[in-house]
Amino acid sequence: MVVQKAVKTLNADLLNERNRGTFNVEELTNLIDGGAEKTKERRELVEFFVKDPLLHDKVPPEYLSYVERYEEAIRKSCLMVGKINEWIDLKKTGSSVELYQAILGGMLGSAILKDGMPFALHYVMFIPAILGQGTLEQQAYWIGRAWNCQIMGTYAQTELGHGTFIRGLETTAHYDPTTEEFILNSPTLTSYKWWPGGLGQTSNYAIVVAQLYTKGECHGIHPFVVQLRDEESHMPLPGIDIGEIGCKMGMNGTNQGYLGFKKFRIPRDQMLMKNSQVLKDGTYVKSPSDKLTYGTMIFVRVALIKGVSLSYLSKAVTIATRYSAVRRQSELRPGEAEPLIMEYKTQQYKLFPNIASAFGMLFSANWLWSMYHSVTSELEQGDLERLPEMHAIACCLKAVSTSDAARGIEECRKACGGHGYMTCSNLPFSYGMATAAETYEGENTVLYLQTARFLMKAWYQARTGTKLPLTTAYLTQNESLTKFPWSNTMLNVIAAYRQVAYGLIKETTGKVDRMIATGVQQEDAWNNYSISLVQCAQAHCRLFMIEKFFASVKEANVSPHLRTVLMQLCELYGVYFLLNNLGFFLMYSSVRIGDISSIQDWQDSLLAVLRPNAVSIVDSFDICDEILSSPLGAYDGNVYERLFEEANKSPLNAKPVNSSFEKYLKPFLKSNL
Amino acid sequence: MVVQKAVKTLNADLLNERNRGTFNVEELTNLIDGGAEKTKERRELVEFFVKDPLLHDKVPPEYLSYVERYEEAIRKSCLMVGKINEWIDLKKTGSSVELYQAILGGMLGSAILKDGMPFALHYVMFIPAILGQGTLEQQAYWIGRAWNCQIMGTYAQTELGHGTFIRGLETTAHYDPTTEEFILNSPTLTSYKWWPGGLGQTSNYAIVVAQLYTKGECHGIHPFVVQLRDEESHMPLPGIDIGEIGCKMGMNGTNQGYLGFKKFRIPRDQMLMKNSQVLKDGTYVKSPSDKLTYGTMIFVRVALIKGVSLSYLSKAVTIATRYSAVRRQSELRPGEAEPLIMEYKTQQYKLFPNIASAFGMLFSANWLWSMYHSVTSELEQGDLERLPEMHAIACCLKAVSTSDAARGIEECRKACGGHGYMTCSNLPFSYGMATAAETYEGENTVLYLQTARFLMKAWYQARTGTKLPLTTAYLTQNESLTKFPWSNTMLNVIAAYRQVAYGLIKETTGKVDRMIATGVQQEDAWNNYSISLVQCAQAHCRLFMIEKFFASVKEANVSPHLRTVLMQLCELYGVYFLLNNLGFFLMYSSVRIGDISSIQDWQDSLLAVLRPNAVSIVDSFDICDEILSSPLGAYDGNVYERLFEEANKSPLNAKPVNSSFEKYLKPFLKSNL
């Protein structure tokens, strides 16, 4: 983490940019945070953590060995949890899983434990799983111990050979009524648990998901609380084969592990039995509803849109935009000084749509959070009606957001030229963390196809006159098909997105149907058109995002100056993705070939009007230097001084001559080949 | 590097795939290599290097500290150069820069020094620069010492504040006639040299590019041979400030460095004077042509299309395709076994277009190599006519290839799900190396705009009736505008690409002209439309690639079975990029909205016909396990056993309990928070 060593002068170009802004940065910050009070709270919290020198890295983690990096992650994680408790005492906030999740995940966590945290799943999955799936007795026994960190847990579901398709899991739990125990076993190599964070060397307990067998019958997957290591010696228990899965593209602080069971026995009461139960004699009692566990899965997906995608993307655009307002290169007009690279249209085109994209994510995620809260309380009253709709929108929004964020971060990194490639720019770390989310918690293609399945169903329902939920209501509207003469307005843009989603879903459904009519099995027809089905889900999601973006800007309680800027971002968002999917717009929407040139001009003019506000907009994300952790993006714009300071943190620079010279290089140079 | 430890059984699914192939794999391998003899030579060379246990890693580099990784890179580089000399003696091939470059770059080098090599610039830039820009006396003095590795050099051009725009370099070389010396100086922090490989701790000499001043006048940038470190002690010389720039996203074996001069003096004869000269009294004698140095730049760009983009992309598709023929997931039809993930259309769509893309790169690069060789001999005879055309095509082909490769590798990585995220999959390393090439040797956007400038010029020339060179001849053909009724043939696809390039260039030129006519300065009009200008260069390049792909398959001396498969790949290439840029095809080509559905069906059917040959096609790249270096892609398909073996190389798994338990974790767990 970069810690400002001395007060540096503010870079004159960056100061100039800030003076050009046409709106109040603090007003936008408050809007992003959800109110001035929230901004104040966030700043206090950040200040409390990032100023603690014990949480700063002496040597950046990328220079340490893999083992040292793990040890540092453990040292800092212990301190971090202690400090959260200090904060709770200080602010008398009361303790909650949400507070831990907020501090450990998101911006703050990513600043202090840049490459992930080995305790994360204890708070994100272990405790919530016991709360959500344990009986009251089980909660009473386990939660206290977990909450005080007397035990450290993880969540072991994914296996070496089995990921998103959880019905395929191979780990077994056979009930033995004679001893009233479950026997956990890993029958194959592919059944080894693989990926859980903290499983390698950190956790001593885990929730293990396994196929339950009792009275000779398999009842599908169920969760069990399993002790993995001795609480005193931390040695793996007999029958437990445990280790770490090795280095990854990122998240190397999370200590992901593998786990195999050799007929390992646990007492009957360690199956989490809030839903289904196994009685003493081995009788299986089925859960009244298996949909109730959907809630947690949706929660995690919604959480990661803001906590991962939005977090890392807003960091990346801040870094790249500030850098582009300091870096000078080439010449625009012969003989003149090298211009700021932000003057280049191509550079604006790399940055500004990604800034807009961050706001698109923010507003959609806010909307989905409110939906999540109301659907959750409906669920508690036994009302499951809106669950499929929420599931469908959460799936595609998770996929679109994680992929927009990952691609956007890479565009920002490349927009910083070679310097973006430096680890210290923090862009490579950000990409590593953001792209991981494209795969975990539901692989994106699989999620798109889940949304597509929902959309196909909605399409047929609409044809039979069934009233559809809000987010798919447009499928009932035949006017979605009516073409209108184009003019460059946001209402037309939104209508065009609606026409595209409608048109794609209509055409793809038709193709699938026609293939089935020729005698092809439904599953094969579905698979044959799955490329189009993914596009349907993407179009549906983009429509959702642009609608929420537009409505949020319209309805926001902000000054006219700010609303103007937000509407420019919203327009850029709409126009950018329209031009990037032009084929579909020409096929299905009111956009005609003759309209394209004016839409391109619109995009060019939006880039131009956003140009003077670019630095102010990213300033409004209000990400402090310690969290940005990038010499390219620091608030003061002293890019080159800071890059030089970072280079000199490389331990290779500690000595003028590395020992490999005497050992290898000198003998080689003197050998006279 | 993965070394096969025991003979493992061939995975049955993979064996089944190999039995399904409809063509002779060896025939395709020979075509890729350029003949059976070339295949034999390559295999011998690979065998000679990859079987040497001294070149194998005891611990994979990602587990070492940064300093240890550097020391290992030096150890292995010294061994590697020694081994190249052994090879030269053994095979009596004679020594050449090309041989060193071939072995150190490309597949073989990337297998042995996975994260880059600190000696690379000695062979790729230092020696070639002296050969190309030194006088005969200078060559006589320096080349012998460099060739025998008595000195180790690098090439220092890029500065902390200056990259692609080399006229902006700030390092100065003032000539002092009283002592007949140049005084090298770094007047600012931004003038520090930054990025040269091997500069940090390895090299003791460098070619330094600096602004030449003599008799009070600046003559622009010139190259100087500069000693950096004492040959005995390796200590930096007084007046030289040198160090390493720190950790990067990849290439951490290359020891990239920084370099500043404090009025550092070198003798007059250390300016490379083959072209321009400074006489003893300080008189400057200008070079007859400054275009001669273009040659080297083009050489490097052409070389990296094959040596980097194609190399890493063909590795990635091999890994992901074999993995997809072993991994099983989810269900296609209820109740049936989990299918191979390659059965999913969406998976085929991630893999096969990238396989096709590798062939597209291969054939275009081959064509450009022949052009390079003939243009080079024309240059030697003073004929510069084809230089601008070659420069233009090399620029956009470098940009398109590096960006196709980087994106393709990431698609392959994500197509392997979580396991692709493991460092041992070798996909993250491959991406790190491939994406670097999007920025170095000319940043891609800058290169596109250079090609666009050439295209605009060609457009105007065509309007005045000037005969255009081969690659832009289509701009003279007005029939490019004539629309024809669509049917799915390759000739139509190629014609459509031509129409798109023609249409984009015509429309963009028109827009730039019209804006200039309203009184806007040319440079500003150019900048305003630069997003479209980039698209012009991309369309031109894609047309070039599809034409060369098609012609190469037509003309190849191969069996009908093989030609069928290659033509399927060529068609997929054409159809895939058409559908991915559908908007432009609807705007400019003969493709009509009513044709799209049949083009999508064509793509679906191409994926289906390529499916049974997918493994055989990637087998034909003939990349041995040691070079692939990925448990997901090994020839035998034992994915899970190999992943497990790799995990157990993590030094964290050496002990059942890490020392951080006693030090941090136990006190924390026992503290009863």
Tens of pLDDT, residues B102-111? 788 888 888 8
Q: What is the mean pLDDT of residues A242-249?
A: 98
SS3 B173: strand
pTM of the complete model: 0.97
Closest alpha carbon to A209 in A191, A222, A195? A222
CA distances to A406, A478, B324 from A627, rounded to whole Å, are 19, 49, 39
Joined together, the tokens standing for residue A515 give 């293939």
Closest-CA residue of A relative to B72 is A660
Say how far apart CA B131 and CA B138 lie, in whole Å. 9
DSSP per-residue string spanning A461-505: HHHTTPPPPGGGGGGG-GGGG------S-HHHHHHHHHHHHHHHH
| Cβ(B180)–Cβ(B205) below 8 Å | no
Q: What is the mean pLDDT of residues A652-669?
A: 97
Instruction: Look at residue B295 in the predicted model and tell me its pLDDT.
Output: 74
| Cβ(B426)–Cβ(B315) below 8 Å | yes
Instruction: Between B53 and A580, name the one with better pLDDT.
Output: A580
CB–CB of B652 and A532 under 8 A?
Answer: no
Say how far apart CA A451 and CA A460 lie, in whole Å. 15
The 3 state secondary structure assigned to A181-199 is EEEEECCCHHHCEECCCCC
Q: How many CB pairs under 8 A join A and B?
A: 383
Q: What is the mean pLDDT of residues B163-177?
A: 93
Greatest extent of chain B over all pairs of C-alpha atoms, in Å: 91
What single-letter amino acid sits at A479?
A: E
Q: Which residues of A touch B587 (CB under 8 A)?
A: 582, 586, 593, 596
Considering chain A, what is the average pLDDT of its residues?
94
Q: Which residues of A touch B443 (CB under 8 A)?
A: 417
- The tokens 């931390």 sit on which residue? A234
Q: What is the mean pLDDT of residues A364-375?
A: 94
Q: What is the mean pLDDT of residues B586-602?
A: 97
Say how far apart CA B460 and CA A305 lie, in whole Å. 49
CA distances to A45, A52, A80, A256, A304 from A109, rounded to whole Å, are 12, 14, 9, 17, 13
Joined together, the tokens standing for residue A530 give 């799955």
Nearest CB among A234, A244, A436 relative to B421 is that of A436
| Cβ(B168)–Cβ(B190) below 8 Å | no
Catalytic pick from A170, A389, A441, A646? A441
Q: Per-residue pLDDT for B407 more than 50?
A: yes
Closest-CA residue of A relative to B432 is A421
Q: Per-residue pLDDT for A408 more than 70?
A: yes
Tally of CB atoms within 10 A around A494: 18
Confidence of residue B210 (pLDDT cuts 50, 70, 90): very high
CB–CB of B168 and A338 under 8 A?
Answer: yes
SS3 B176: strand
Q: Which residues of A touch B597 (CB under 8 A)?
A: 507, 511
Catalytic pick from B411, B441, B626, B646? B441
Angle value at C-alpha B102, between B99 and B105, nearest 5 degrees = 140
Q: What is the mean pLDDT of residues B435-460?
A: 96
Instruction: Look at residue B351 in the predicted model and tell me its pLDDT.
Output: 98
Say how far apart CA A183 and CA B219 lie, in whole Å. 82
Confidence of residue B293 (pLDDT cuts 50, 70, 90): low
Joined together, the tokens standing for residue B557 give 């001396």
Instruction: Look at residue B1 in the predicted model and tell me its pLDDT.
Output: 32
CA distances to A514, A516, A518, B13 from A525, rounded to whole Å, are 9, 6, 10, 24
| Cβ(A116)–Cβ(A249) below 8 Å | no
Q: Per-residue pLDDT for B334 more than 90?
A: no
For the ranges B6-15, B375-384, B419-428, B546-555, the lowest mean pLDDT is seen at B6-15
CA distance A181 to chain B (A): 27
Confidence of residue A192 (pLDDT cuts 50, 70, 90): very high
Find all residues with CB under 8 Å of B500, minimum gap 6, and list them: B539, B543, B581, B584, B585, B587, B588, B589
Q: What are phi and psi of B116, to 5 degrees?
A: 95, 165
Confidence of residue B336 (pLDDT cuts 50, 70, 90): confident
- Residue B239 annotated as part of some ligand binding site: no
Q: Which residues of A are annotated as a binding site?
A: 158, 197
DSSP per-residue string spanning A592-616: -GGGHHHHHHHHHHHHHHHGGGHHH
Say how far apart CA B129 and CA B225 lie, in whole Å. 10
Say how far apart CA B278 and CA B269 lie, in whole Å. 9
Q: Per-residue pLDDT for B608 more than 80?
A: yes
Nearest CB among B331, B423, B646 relative to A249 is that of B423
Q: Per-residue pLDDT for A489 more than 80?
A: yes
Closest-CA residue of A relative to B243 is A653
Instruction: Look at residue A2 in the predicted model and tell me its pLDDT.
Output: 37
Q: Per-residue pLDDT for B648 more than 50?
A: yes
Nearest CB among A71, A233, A670 relative to B658 is that of A71
Confidence of residue A480 (pLDDT cuts 50, 70, 90): low
Say how far apart CA B513 and CA B453 lie, in whole Å. 14
Which tens digit of pLDDT belongs to each residue from B112-168?
998 899 999 999 999 999 998 999 999 999 999 999 999 999 999 999 999 888 899
Instruction: Look at residue A171 in the predicted model and tell me its pLDDT.
Output: 98
Q: Per-residue pLDDT for A99 more than 90?
A: no
Say how far apart CA A397 and CA A368 lie, in whole Å. 9
Say how far apart CA A446 and CA A395 lie, in whole Å. 9
Question: Of all residues in chain B, what percent carry a pLDDT higher than 90?
Answer: 86
CA distance A333 to chain B (A): 6
Confidence of residue A658 (pLDDT cuts 50, 70, 90): very high
For the ranges A118-122, B215-219, B299-303, B611-615, the lowest mean pLDDT is seen at B299-303
Which tens digit of pLDDT belongs to each residue from A527-536?
999 999 999 9
Confidence of residue B58 (pLDDT cuts 50, 70, 90): confident
Which tens digit of pLDDT belongs to each residue from A10-23?
999 999 999 999 99
- The tokens 């030096």 sit on which residue? B74
CA distance B405 to chain A (A): 14
CA distances to A403, A462, B107 from B248, rounded to whole Å, are 23, 53, 21
Which of left, alpha, beta for B112 (phi over 0: left; psi -120 to 50: alpha)? alpha
CB–CB of B149 and A246 under 8 A?
Answer: no
Q: Per-residue pLDDT for B35 more than 90?
A: yes
Instruction: Look at residue B7 in the predicted model and tell me its pLDDT.
Output: 54
DSSP per-residue string spanning B590-656: S--HHHHHHHHHHHHHHHHHHGGGHHHHHHTT---HHHH--TTT-TT--HHHHHHHHHTTSGGGGSS
Confidence of residue B202 (pLDDT cuts 50, 70, 90): very high
- Residue B509 annotated as part of some ligand binding site: no
Q: Which residues of A touch B430 (CB under 8 A)?
A: none
Which tens digit of pLDDT belongs to each residue from A155-174?
999 999 998 888 899 999 99
Question: Of all residues in chain A, what percent carry a pLDDT higher than 70?
Answer: 97
Say how far apart CA A311 and CA A309 lie, in whole Å. 6
Confidence of residue B288 (pLDDT cuts 50, 70, 90): confident
CB–CB of A653 and B449 under 8 A?
Answer: no
The 3 state secondary structure assigned to B278-339 is ECCCCCEECCCCCCCCHHHHHHHHHHHHHHHHHHHHHHHHHHHHHHHCCCECCCCCCCCCCC
Q: Which residues of A touch B201 (CB under 8 A)?
A: 652, 657-658, 660-661
| Cβ(A501)–Cβ(A540) below 8 Å | yes
Closest alpha carbon to B103 in B126, B128, B124, B130? B124
The 3 state secondary structure assigned to A20-80 is HCCCCHHHHHHHHHCCHHHHHHHHHHHHHHHCCHHHCCCCCHHHCCHHHHHHHHHHHHHHH
CA distance B92 to chain A (A): 16
Which H or E run includes B226? strand B217-227
| Cβ(B66)–Cβ(A59) below 8 Å | no
Q: Which residues of B touch A349 (CB under 8 A)?
A: 531
CA distances to A9, A18, A320, B161 from A638, rounded to whole Å, are 8, 15, 14, 12
Say how far apart CA A485 and CA A478 lie, in whole Å. 17
Residues A318, A323, A324, A326, Cα dihedral to 10°: 130
Q: Per-residue pLDDT for B4 more than 50?
A: no
Q: What is the mean pLDDT of residues A621-628?
A: 97
CB–CB of B669 and A440 under 8 A?
Answer: no
Say how far apart CA B647 and CA B60 lie, in whole Å. 11
Joined together, the tokens standing for residue A430 give 């950000």
Say how far apart CA A347 and CA A648 lie, in whole Å. 30
Instruction: Look at residue A4 in the predicted model and tell me its pLDDT.
Output: 43
B441 catalytic residue (yes or no):
yes
CB–CB of B243 and A428 under 8 A?
Answer: no
Q: Which residues pair with B285 in a beta bridge?
A: B277
Closest-CA residue of B relative to A148 is B673
| Cβ(B652)–Cβ(A245) below 8 Å | no
Instruction: Look at residue A293 in the predicted model and tell me its pLDDT.
Output: 65
Tally of CB atoms within 10 A around B591: 24
Q: What is the mean pLDDT of residues A581-600?
A: 97
Considering chain B, what is the average pLDDT of its residues?
94
